[in-house]
Amino acid sequence: MISTLLASVVAVAASFLFPITLKLNAVSDGVIPNGITEVLEALLMNTVSNPIESLVKANYIGVLAWAILLGIALRKAAAHTKEVLNNISDAVSQVVRWIINFAPLGILGLVYASVSASGMEIFINYGKLLLVLVGCMLTVALVIDPLIAAIWLRRNPYPLVFKCLKESGVTAFFTRSSAANIPINMALCEKLGLDKDAYSVSIPLGAAINMDGAAITITVMSLAAAHTMGVTVDIPSAIILSLLATISACGASGVAGGSLLLIPLACSLFGISNDVAMQVVGVGFIIGVVQDSFETAINSSGDVLFAATAEFHERIKEGKEVNISFKHKG
């Protein structure tokens, strides 16, 4: 969670340093907040909104709040009720996969419409957005995550970082699915000599909630929408966005393009309408081949990195010898 939050902060900083505007057709019909007070007021009102109204009006913050409350309440539900809910969850995930499988057709239409309206220079704009996204992800993978590992291990973390990137990140880059990369990560943990009782829990859990790349995507794309619509985002509002992106990223589906579907949730924080937010999602699908590949790579390699860091830290506390140079087996 700390890593995901820091990834959101990196994304906010990059978006402020290199603001991106997109060529969008719709005009937001929402109320644009003018400061942190109005942002907090909108956040509060959306959170306590009637659940049925939230579903009908696509109030994603309200849906998220009620989902959390129901999740807590259903902890004491009967086993067969939980099984039904799990089956419904699997069915919804399958529908999402079907929708995403049709994404190439939608992307073809989006590219055609964008090029027809704005010419070939539209790809320069998308290229700048992609550079910011990939730059943030590389910063997290090569600076932030190694720094967290170094603090806990008190030694050079880069041999472990590069091993995770090489044996987990490369595979995840091409599969573009954290869930599909779980067997690869389990095998890597066994290769690193980790305790199976620990990594058999942490790896599947990490594939579901360790989403640094998703937090970056949600934050950068949402701020790009805000800049496009002329929304002034101050530092307190950016902090709230970072927290919201962190929580939202944990709920991102472990399939290709899953994080893009959470962009409207973050956009609603700034009063940006669903029309605009879904156009931003469309832009995300256009650059998704590269963006989602890098995103999944840092998500999946981070799962193994932090699982190994936690166990090696415990071994060091117990006075046991730990070798992360990988120059020889030990």
Distance CA 98, CA 92 (A): 10
pLDDT for res 256:
60
pLDDT of 330: 42
Q: Which tokens in the block code for residue 271? A: 């009063």
CA neighbor of 228 nearest in space, from 55, 87, 26, 41: 26
The answer to whether position 326 is within a domain reads: no
Residue 110 lies in a domain: yes
Burial tier of 135 (Cβ tally within 10 Å: 0-12, 13-18, 19+): middle
Kindly report the CATH number assigned to the domain that includes residue 44: 1.10.3860.10
Residues 243 and 222: beta-carbon distance below 8 Å: no
Q: So what's the pLDDT on residue 34?
A: 57
Which residue range forms the structural domain that includes residue 40?
2-317
Residue 324 in any domain: the answer is: no
- Residue 325 falls inside a structural domain: no
Q: How many domains does the chain have?
A: 1
Cβ proximity of 311 and 195 under 8 Å = yes
- Asked if residue 322 belongs to a domain, the reply is no
d(CA 151, CA 155) in angstroms, rounded, equals 8
Distance between CA atoms of residues 56 and 194, nearest Å = 47
The closest alpha carbon to 221, from 117, 136, 102, belongs to: 136
Please report, for residues 126, 130, 198, 277, the alpha-carbon distance to residue 123 in angstroms, rounded to integers and kept in the order given.
Answer: 5, 10, 45, 19
Let me know if residue 90 belongs to a domain. Answer: yes
Alpha helices in the chain (DSSP H): 2-17, 36-47, 51-56, 60-73, 79-101, 103-118, 122-139, 145-153, 158-164, 170-175, 182-191, 196-209, 212-228, 235-250, 263-267, 274-286, 288-317
- Quick check: is 323 in a domain? no
Is residue 141 a contact partner of residue 304, using CB atoms and an 8 Å limit? no
Instruction: Kindly report whether the global pTM for this prediction surpasses the value 0.85.
Output: no
Q: Can you tell me the distance from the alpha carbon of 120 to that of 300, in angstroms, rounded to the nearest whole number?
A: 35
| 27 DSSP 8-state letter | -
Q: What is the pLDDT of residue 164?
A: 92
Contact 179, 254 (CB under 8 A): yes
The pLDDT assigned to 179 comes to 77
Q: What is the pLDDT along the chain (330 residues), one digit of tens a residue?
A: 899 999 999 999 999 999 888 877 655 555 555 566 666 777 788 788 888 888 887 777 788 888 888 888 888 888 888 889 889 888 987 887 787 777 677 767 766 776 777 677 777 778 888 999 999 999 999 999 999 999 998 889 999 999 999 999 998 888 877 777 889 999 999 998 888 989 899 998 888 888 888 899 999 999 998 888 888 888 888 888 888 888 888 776 655 666 777 888 888 878 787 778 888 888 888 887 788 889 889 999 999 999 999 999 988 888 887 777 665 444
Q: What is the pLDDT of residue 107?
A: 67
